[in-house]
Amino acid sequence: MGSTWGNRIKISVFGESHGPAIGVVIDGLPAGISIDESHIVKEMGRRAPGTQAGSTPRKEPDLPTVLSGLYNGKTTGTPLAMEILNTNTHSSDYDGFTVTPRPGHADYTARLRYKMNNDPRGGGHFSGRLTAPVLFAGAIAKQVLKAKCGAEVYGHIIRIGKVNAPSWEEEEMPVIPTEGNFPQENPSLASRMTAEIEAAKLENDSVGGIVEVMATGFPGGIGSPMWDTVESNFAQLMFGVPAVKGVSFGSGFEVASRRGSQNNDHLLFKDGKLRMSTNHGGGFEGGISNGMPILAQVAFKPTPSIGAEQDTVDLDAKENVKIQIKGRHDACIVPRALPVAEGCLALALLDAYMAKGELA
Amino acid sequence: MGSTWGNRIKISVFGESHGPAIGVVIDGLPAGISIDESHIVKEMGRRAPGTQAGSTPRKEPDLPTVLSGLYNGKTTGTPLAMEILNTNTHSSDYDGFTVTPRPGHADYTARLRYKMNNDPRGGGHFSGRLTAPVLFAGAIAKQVLKAKCGAEVYGHIIRIGKVNAPSWEEEEMPVIPTEGNFPQENPSLASRMTAEIEAAKLENDSVGGIVEVMATGFPGGIGSPMWDTVESNFAQLMFGVPAVKGVSFGSGFEVASRRGSQNNDHLLFKDGKLRMSTNHGGGFEGGISNGMPILAQVAFKPTPSIGAEQDTVDLDAKENVKIQIKGRHDACIVPRALPVAEGCLALALLDAYMAKGELA
Amino acid sequence: MGSTWGNRIKISVFGESHGPAIGVVIDGLPAGISIDESHIVKEMGRRAPGTQAGSTPRKEPDLPTVLSGLYNGKTTGTPLAMEILNTNTHSSDYDGFTVTPRPGHADYTARLRYKMNNDPRGGGHFSGRLTAPVLFAGAIAKQVLKAKCGAEVYGHIIRIGKVNAPSWEEEEMPVIPTEGNFPQENPSLASRMTAEIEAAKLENDSVGGIVEVMATGFPGGIGSPMWDTVESNFAQLMFGVPAVKGVSFGSGFEVASRRGSQNNDHLLFKDGKLRMSTNHGGGFEGGISNGMPILAQVAFKPTPSIGAEQDTVDLDAKENVKIQIKGRHDACIVPRALPVAEGCLALALLDAYMAKGELA
Amino acid sequence: MGSTWGNRIKISVFGESHGPAIGVVIDGLPAGISIDESHIVKEMGRRAPGTQAGSTPRKEPDLPTVLSGLYNGKTTGTPLAMEILNTNTHSSDYDGFTVTPRPGHADYTARLRYKMNNDPRGGGHFSGRLTAPVLFAGAIAKQVLKAKCGAEVYGHIIRIGKVNAPSWEEEEMPVIPTEGNFPQENPSLASRMTAEIEAAKLENDSVGGIVEVMATGFPGGIGSPMWDTVESNFAQLMFGVPAVKGVSFGSGFEVASRRGSQNNDHLLFKDGKLRMSTNHGGGFEGGISNGMPILAQVAFKPTPSIGAEQDTVDLDAKENVKIQIKGRHDACIVPRALPVAEGCLALALLDAYMAKGELA
């Protein structure tokens, strides 16, 4: 029951990495929203492998086919279903991982959970490939959200390994890294980050990172305490991605080090408009949006598939063994994960925004 | 619809800080579990104000009255409802916050969300007081979880302001800070942390912190990808507490700085038992439990109510004004928040564990 | 997990018949709706025992106490909780039903379900008494629904035992049986129905019946196919009442006997307004409201508690035995059940109506 | 959000009648259940048009393609997705129904609900064709249910127009009408029923009916009061089918005419086994299963598409007009609807049964 998420907007994700297809059903979209399919394709392209520094050389066109829910280019209001056929799979690369689980992957836990009945090829339903349908849903949500309330979602990378970049905490309208193939607006930091990835790659290793996502134009007063808030729902969505180990909002874990006098966002009228003096809260007080930019950070662990020999076990022989993972892997998934995180924020915002009518 | 949480175990929290009562209905508990009410009272006492360094001098007995769901000392399996009568309220302390919202509180966002119909006294439904019913539900969950699978939940403080303490990342069975009135096992660090709180208090200020919660004895193979995992559900629960700004698991945000070769938890047989070499994943791979201790961190912002004069607005006059908050406040809520976080982990674990039968 | 219902409006019902209290938490109400408490009391009075033909002589004041969610006489938008203290219980009347279950009651199935841990006194959580909190929630829903869209809910009895009364299928605005103590508008039929009840009572027996509920003024275009419709949700609600064995809409089971040419509701403009020629569909096509009156029927079985000796078993001795039920019982619950059914319709309508904003 | 149903088993149905495809995602299935695809095809064939008396001459192969969730012929435990490509569509048959809605169809209500953005071709998402994915999910549920607890689901027709057949109320193990192409076990009644359909067809008309579904072998003690019962969930599922106007259990609406002394099911030991003397309750007391056969009835209205000229409106011209529906239609959908109702019962039973582990 775990691959279904949402309240007013429900998404139901399906598929295994090397099965016939992966996809998603999105239920609850408002009717009559024009969908720009080229935007969807562009968003999917941001996640596609082979286009970014350190990404796997696999070529996955990942072209989504819409099965329902669009008519004359607009949402019908009934479920929007999409599938991506799986091609170019090398299942033999994955033989044996049920017996000798790869460290850092779900091979062992999936075996336990499904009593060896899960599809292990390519990680099955636990594959990072399953973020493609999530991203698709997120790309739809971005368009619907913009059409309904004008809000837009952006993102950038704020850490790769040891290289940090500044948060957008102080920004009202950030410089968006739309150009180039690495989503960090500062060219010098982008270079250092890609170098960090290249260094890991050269050493048959991988590296983690942090993305930051932001929404501008999202109205205040949205969300319902305690657990139907954008914060709660975005966190729930993001932790559905196996590589995610942390989620925070506004100043995030940094708030723990502060005094209240430093951390409180103060209200003020500026040019006749109400706003906050700072955005340490990331756009929320009490879980309800306050009209400031929505700001969140998501930490991704380094790709567990690395070329070096690693320790693991043989679950049949019940002995400790070595494993060396072959195949094609990302040295860093963070650049490809960014549009997924943006899409998840759009989904959480849209889901919350849809309740606005309930309040009226 | 936001104050209801859960899948197999549902909790529905109600109440406003200065209304007649607060409480919770817990639906979906298994039948026949003996409940030790003295344990509940003890847990509630850990959150009660007035007993810990820097906490508000308000005296809230916070004694819960069970209205249903217990019979002959055992759970009936039908909804377990509890109420706490509100007494000792000083509502006049809160006059006017709908017009001149307190920085860092939900006064302004609640006004927007509810169009000025919310009960503003004491923060209403957004009050930290609403964590008492959550803690109650968590204390019940702790007992049920232990009875069903032997798992136990612990916690400690790992940061107050500038003072850090080590994580239990390397621990299989931590030293639990059960004695004394400050939940940090290292006396020297505990002293420095309480000093940090006292310093903030002396300056009419407040300070934030991080708690870490851990569960031992929780079996592997529990959870359903992608969004019905302990990670997703615990994060959703915790972000229901207004002061929480970050949630992480295992090594948390630290994973972003690491190489895969450093971060991967390796499988090994030790003394004939399967385990991981390290616990950077906090007990999960792919969101499914792996049999290692469950480990999570939660960041709390400093209490927004501070004694110093602050900037805010007069929403009627539409002008910038100053506000000075009177009344009784915590200089640091982190010690009182710890049992709430432990309870939330117990709830998330129990909710996931209840599905075990579905797999059989 | 079964005592929680709803989508946009969630109700969580708690309590056992002879426990400390019963009640309900209603989450998701819009803020700012004035609640007339005298209307609530009047509605509760319609269900209270001792006031209608054939009802039990027990006196239950059933006065609800609101614990949260109302402020200055209006809904706050945060959870509205209510409790009714249980008094005047004769628990000894129920001794032994766990071992020798009463026919037609849940004594045996509850024992199975909860492995003998349920509270058996007065039927515990399965008692008809638990319809009081449902009715309370329904009475709130009636007021909110009327305030939001002008719709009103009515009901009458259309069958008691062998006595039938005409449906409101042909009515746009029925004559409401508000006066008198028996909810059937035709005095002669009301007399025959009460005589049917009296006859059953005299013979230490009970009798069943059918209620019909109607809503006028509910707008068209509300509901979401396939399972978030008023039909689906009202049926789900009603079957939560143990005595309910059938639910239908419009012409109900009668449609099975008809030709399409007889049954189809035709569209027509009359006085410039669009309407249907008939209302066989009960106000729905495809589950979506069409602007006609909403019409539903609910069949209640005769009260299983009768004075005559009945066959049952001794589950300990594993032998067939006789049982004679003492205590105070209704010869017919149908008059008391009517306001519950009306309340359930109001809840289903309000829950659906709350989504209207999602469509905008 | 309406096309998603379920608690432990969630189904998400998508598709429009004349869009690219229809299908369903089933989330929450247990892992390791062998699925017999030939059984699925056979079940789908029972619903396929063109094979039964009075059904439309359209040929729809309706062959389902499984996209995920099966591996080596067994359920993986992760979402099982299925699609059916739409072919052989005559969309021009449906031109104009948005302006001149067909009586008895959702043309008008869908227009209202979706503000003219829905796909009107073939009824779009409201088409009876959408019962094919529901049936598919039901056929899977039948197999899983049988594998998990041995329960089996059957059904027959008990009314077509004016022709009635006896209920299985008195049967423990009914004679199943598996042979022949009309699902009624009594050949003489079957003939009269098919004649009733043929007569309607000859007159360019249609006719309604009632199906009865039964499950044998389902254990007692399953379900959670008040709203997580098989009764509540089956009713919710069935009312998702637009043609359904009534749902009942056991003796259904007949209970309203009875005395308690007639209606109560008495417990007795027979051959050492506990059972009920009768099955008026349809296998439930208090919503919880009692070990007797599960028995339910579902009333279907006559197909609204009939050949005769009918009254309707022109919504653009705002005037009353006549409509004559061309195209290919069923004179009676009841025979094709029966396997859908059986599948819905299997889904409701499986969903409830999956909670059994929660109780342990």
pLDDT at C359: 46
D104-113 mean pLDDT: 96
Report residue C3 as tokens. Answer: 């005592």
Q: At what angle do helices A334-353 and A37-47 cross, to 10 degrees?
A: 140
Q: With CB atoms and an 8 Å threshold, state whether D77 touches A118.
A: yes
Distance CA B315, CA B312 (A): 9
Residue D352 has pLDDT above 50, yes or no: yes
Residues 6+ apart with CB under 8 A from C359: A30, A31, A77, A357, C221, D113, D114, D115
pLDDT at C360: 43
Residues 6+ apart with CB under 8 A from B218: B149, B151, B283, B289, B291, B293, B294, B349, B353
B237-256 mean pLDDT: 98
Residues 6+ apart with CB under 8 A from A326: A93
pLDDT at A360: 42
| Segment 277-296 of chain A within 8 Å of chain B by CB | 277, 280-282, 284-290
Distance CA C71, CA C346 (A): 23
Q: With CB atoms and an 8 Å threshold, state whether D78 touches A21.
A: no
Percent pLDDT > 70 in chain C is 92
* Nearest residue in C to B27, CA atom: C1
pLDDT at D58: 53
For A237-241, B76-80, B244-248, D47-51, which range has the lowest pLDDT when averaged over its residues?
D47-51
Name the pLDDT band for B90 (thresholds 50, 70, 90): low
**Tell me, what amino acid is at C131?**
T
Pairs from A183-187 (Cβ < 8 Å, separation ≥ 24): A183/A46, A183/A155, A183/A156, A183/A157, A183/A211, A183/A335, A183/A338, A184/A156, A184/A157, A184/A158, A185/A156
Q: How many CA atoms does the CB half-sphere of C197 hold within 13 Å?
A: 25
Interface test with D, best of C17, C24, C100, C113 (most D CBs within 10 A): C113
Question: Number of B:D CB contacts under 8 A?
Answer: 38
Judge contact between B334 and B208, C-beta under 8 A.
yes
Residue C1 has pLDDT above 80, yes or no: no
Residue C334 has pLDDT above 70, yes or no: yes
Enumerate neighbours of C (3 or more CB pairs within 8 A): A, B, D
Distance CA A87, CA A65 (A): 14
Distance CA C301, CA D81 (A): 41
Distance CA C318, CA D55 (A): 52
Residue B150 has pLDDT above 80, yes or no: yes
Judge contact between C196 and C161, C-beta under 8 A.
yes
The pLDDT tens digits of the residues spanning C53-77 come to: 556 655 556 789 999 999 999 999 9
Name the residue among C8, C31, C358 with its Cβ closest to that of A30. C358
CB burial of C216-255 (b: ≥16 within 10 Å; e: otherwise) equals: bebebbbbbbbbbbbbbbbbbbbbbbbbbbbbbbbbbbbb
Chain A residue numbers with beta carbons less than 8 Å from the beta carbon of B266 are 103, 310-312
Q: With CB atoms and an 8 Å threshold, state whether C356 touches A356.
A: no
Average pLDDT score, chain B: 93
Report residue A77 as tokens. Answer: 């209001």
B198 touches chain A (CB under 8 A): no
Q: What is the dihedral of CA A258, B330, B63, D226, to 10 degrees?
A: -40
Q: With CB atoms and an 8 Å threshold, state whether A76 touches D119.
A: yes
pTM over the 0.80 mark: yes
B49-59 mean pLDDT: 60
Report residue C339 as tokens. Answer: 């306001």
Q: With CB atoms and an 8 Å threshold, state whether A227 touches B5.
A: yes
pLDDT at A62: 75
Report the Cα–Cα distance between both ends of chain C, in Å, rounded: 33
Q: Torsions phi, psi of A67, nearest 5? A: -100, -20
D245-255 mean pLDDT: 98
Judge contact between A240 and B229, C-beta under 8 A.
yes
Is residue A214 reached through a cis peptide bond, with omega within 30 degrees of 0 on the bond before it? no
Q: Torsions phi, psi of D113, nearest 5? A: -65, -40
Judge contact between D225 and C126, C-beta under 8 A.
yes
Give the helix ranges, DSSP H, for A52-156.
107-114, 131-149
Distance CA C36, CA C57 (A): 29
Name the pLDDT band for D359 (thresholds 50, 70, 90): very low
pLDDT at D18: 93
CA B28 to chain D, closest CA, distance in angstroms equals 8
Average pLDDT score, chain D: 93
Distance CA C94, CA C109 (A): 16
Where do the domains of chain A lie, and which CATH numbers do they carry? Answer: 4-359 (3.60.150.10)
Low-confidence ranges of chain A (pLDDT < 50): 359-360
Name the residue among D242, D245, D260 with its Cβ closest to that of C255. D245
Name the pLDDT band for D360 (thresholds 50, 70, 90): very low
What's the ipTM?
0.96
D115 touches chain C (CB under 8 A): yes
Interface test with B, best of C116, C117, C125 (most B CBs within 10 A): C117
B30 touches chain D (CB under 8 A): yes
Name the pLDDT band for B183 (thresholds 50, 70, 90): very high
CA D140 to chain A, closest CA, distance in angstroms equals 16
CA C220 to chain A, closest CA, distance in angstroms equals 16
The pLDDT tens digits of the residues spanning D79-98 come to: 999 999 998 666 666 668 88
pLDDT at B174: 82
The pLDDT tens digits of the residues spanning D202-235 come to: 999 999 999 999 999 999 999 999 999 999 999 9
Q: With CB atoms and an 8 Å threshold, state whether D235 touches C236.
A: yes
Residue B53 has pLDDT above 80, yes or no: no
For A239-243, B142-146, D48-52, which range has the lowest pLDDT when averaged over its residues?
D48-52
Residues 6+ apart with CB under 8 A from B290: A108, A109, A112, B220, B265, B276, B281, B283, B284
| Segment 2-21 of chain B within 8 Å of chain A by CB | 2-5, 7, 13
* Nearest residue in B to C79, CA atom: B14
